[in-house]
Structure 1
């Protein structure tokens, strides 16, 4: 009776019909024989020899007497075939060839009985430890050899052709039984081995996918943290330095309030990010939520005293991913201009919305020619990943002496998604 699929309490649903059902683990006896294969093969060889001995020494009536040397030869060949079964796992084809020798002996009467058990087990071993194709080829070759021998003997002596045909047909049927059983067992064994190997591969692939997902998530977290912390702290530092340097109490108070506003926005974004990371079941995207726009970013930069100008062309009709990427690009460009440029006279931010896509450019004239970079490049790398994610392009460099430009293009909203 086939085993019924197990129902796991508490899940509320039975297992699917196509769920993988592994076989029952082997019992004590099977585990013992699997741990001692040589002992099992020796026992099989002894049993095969015991089944063969009666056919050698207990003889039925035959038309002609059987000589002693024929019996001795049959005994020797049968013993050799049974002893060869000890190596049936390693060399099953060679063992099968040896087990066929009694079939081809000089005495046709006891041949099939003497070699039957060993040949059956040897052919079974070919199917189990090699392939089903090799088993059928061996069976076909043995059957053809036995049939050829039968035909030759009938042509030489037609008086006992009936007995010869019966003996050799019985031998072929015996080999056929061994082949059928062996193919069935061998195919099942190979199927289980393939399932186990596939399970191992799935475990390896699962671990690899988990590591790749963890690495990608760390990259996303690092990118978001850089965008939040780097820009916000740059603005806070610039405002704090301005408040310290001015003697105007009103301007210092305004700078302090701007510091507080910037810090609160950064704190709110950090709380959203940390909340997403703590909640394993949350479906909220990792990117911080909010309605920050390019105008808000430019206003924060202007509050530090930076000479920022903004030029927007077209109507902003972009996807949320592009809108977030646009804000991050402007933040990174302004942050780099405030931190690394040398007293720029102007920082130009240009945003052009179009049907084909959105073009954004941040350019300043405070770059020092041939000066080594003071940053680690993580911000630009994060922007490149973000732009690649939305299918855009980005480049950063010095188009002319003393200037630095960060420019990106991102595709527009697809009409098919409207």
Structure 2
């Protein structure tokens, strides 16, 4: 069973929808005090419905007159009392009103009291238009059948039966027609408000999904920048500390400073974009070091990295950016997890069909450290450009990372999926 929503939750939704105030002081008062309004309506119907009881009195056998004198007022009071249930159980006052009208036939009283109008109106508003028409038809049919039976035994005349049926038909039609108009408008407005609330919830969900996707993209960019740069800086710093050659130590320190300066520039560029209102992260390959720069930085740090490239086809910024980040992450993983590697081979194969990036290194140990976010981020990045990636051991101590990215038409910018 679903838990009912609190009034505060509904109020917050209404505030988000910016619903206008209901018009009119009296309408707002009745909307806030529905029970008080139902009591006044029930009393009004009671006063007007007791009048036909007195007007319809005629010569009857004494036992029958006494019985009707007791039953008819009781039925009227009971029917008017059930009007307090018209919002939650609209069928109850409708049935009670027609039962009271059936007693009026025995008296030969003029038919059609306000009880029938209010009951038919309530059935149309709080149930449905179909229920109101069906109920009115059944009620009038039952009164017609009862009138025919009473005429057959001589209790009432044809004129009395016609007065009762026509009176109930008129007041019933008035209640049904007004109720259908009001109920249809009420249900239409409720459907509009409900749809607006659904759109508001969907808008918030879309905003949350977009924020989550943007956070994941920012995390990938920061990981690529920080992880690679710090790995190279650590390797250069360790090499400078281990060597006794002042010139080599100075060269390593200079290379570490240059790597740190490049990483700082990338971070400043990315943070500057984040401060701009709604601007996406730059996807130009200039925002990431080229594969050649990545290999040169690793070579300056003393790692045996080589680069081979075939084909001269270039593609849009989205593909080139992904290629640069794949090479950067692959070389960084090789430096971090295979420090004793004797060869780290980077191969780029470009053609009209796309780009194949392959990074192979040896020196992989048996013990693996805790898994990070690099490979997961690469898989997401390659998926955004509709590519495929595979990685793993090819031999006991060899590791291969291979990504295939379709390029489309050369030189045409690839559109990335924006969540």
**Contact kept in structure 2, 1:227 and 1:331, CA below 8 Å:** yes
Task: Note the residue ranges of structure 1 that are not aligned, 5 or more in a row.
Answer: 1-19
Pairwise CA RMSD: 2.8
TM-score by length of 1: 0.85
Matched, 1:84 2:79: no
Label 1:101 to 1:142 Cα distance change in 2 as closer, same or farther (>3 A).
same
The 2-side partners of 1:35 and 1:84 are apart by: 21
SS in structure 1 at match of 2:73: helix
**Contact kept in structure 1, 2:307 and 2:346, CA below 8 Å:** yes
Label 1:29 to 1:235 Cα distance change in 2 as closer, same or farther (>3 A).
same
The 1-side partners of 2:60 and 2:268 are apart by: 100
Matched, 1:387 2:382: yes
The equivalent position to 1:103 in structure 2, one of 96, 101, 104, is 101
State the 1:277 CA deviation: 1.1
SS in structure 2 at match of 1:100: helix
Deviation string, structure 1 residues 350-386 (Cα, Å, up to 9, x no partner): 1111233221111111101x31x22432111111111
SS in structure 2 at match of 1:107: helix
The 2-side partners of 1:142 and 1:416 are apart by: 79
Label 1:291 to 1:277 Cα distance change in 2 as closer, same or farther (>3 A).
closer
Matched, 1:276 2:280: no
In the other structure, the counterpart of 1:174 is 171
**Contact kept in structure 2, 1:150 and 1:164, CA below 8 Å:** yes
State the 1:336 CA deviation: 1.1
**Contact kept in structure 2, 1:102 and 1:112, CA below 8 Å:** no
The equivalent position to 2:364 in structure 1, one of 335, 356, 367, is 367
State the 1:327 CA deviation: 0.8
* Higher-RCO chain (CA-CA 8 Å, sequence separation at least 6): 2
1:204-219 equivalent positions in 2, closer than 5 A = 204-219=201-216
State the 1:156 CA deviation: 5.8
Matched, 1:378 2:373: yes
**35-44 or 400-409, which moves further after superposition?**
35-44
State the 1:58 CA deviation: 3.4
Label 1:297 to 1:394 Cα distance change in 2 as closer, same or farther (>3 A).
same
State the 1:72 CA deviation: 4.5
Matched, 1:203 2:200: yes
The 1-side partners of 2:331 and 2:403 are apart by: 14
The 2-side partners of 1:81 and 1:155 are apart by: 28
The 2-side partners of 1:227 and 1:42 are apart by: 72
In the other structure, the counterpart of 1:55 is 52
The 1-side partners of 2:226 and 2:370 are apart by: 15
State the 1:252 CA deviation: 3.0
SS in structure 2 at match of 1:237: helix
The 2-side partners of 1:283 and 1:307 are apart by: 36
Deviation string, structure 1 residues 202-244 (Cα, Å, up to 9, x no partner): 3333332232222222211111111001101111121222233
The 2-side partners of 1:331 and 1:380 are apart by: 12
Label 1:406 to 1:393 Cα distance change in 2 as closer, same or farther (>3 A).
same
The equivalent position to 2:391 in structure 1, one of 380, 384, 396, is 396
The equivalent position to 1:408 in structure 2, one of 390, 403, 410, is 403
SS in structure 1 at match of 2:223: helix
Task: Note the residue ranges of structure 2 that are not aligned, 5 or more in a row.
Answer: 1-16, 414-419
The 1-side partners of 2:225 and 2:410 are apart by: 32
SS in structure 2 at match of 1:225: helix
**Contact kept in structure 2, 1:242 and 1:304, CA below 8 Å:** yes
**Contact kept in structure 1, 2:285 and 2:324, CA below 8 Å:** no
Matched, 1:235 2:236: no
In the other structure, the counterpart of 1:9 is none
Matched, 1:225 2:259: no
The 2-side partners of 1:400 and 1:212 are apart by: 41
State the 1:335 CA deviation: 0.7
Label 1:318 to 1:202 Cα distance change in 2 as closer, same or farther (>3 A).
same
Label 1:360 to 1:285 Cα distance change in 2 as closer, same or farther (>3 A).
same
Label 1:26 to 1:259 Cα distance change in 2 as closer, same or farther (>3 A).
same
Matched, 1:148 2:145: yes
**Contact kept in structure 2, 1:74 and 1:111, CA below 8 Å:** no
In the other structure, the counterpart of 1:6 is none
State the 1:321 CA deviation: 1.4
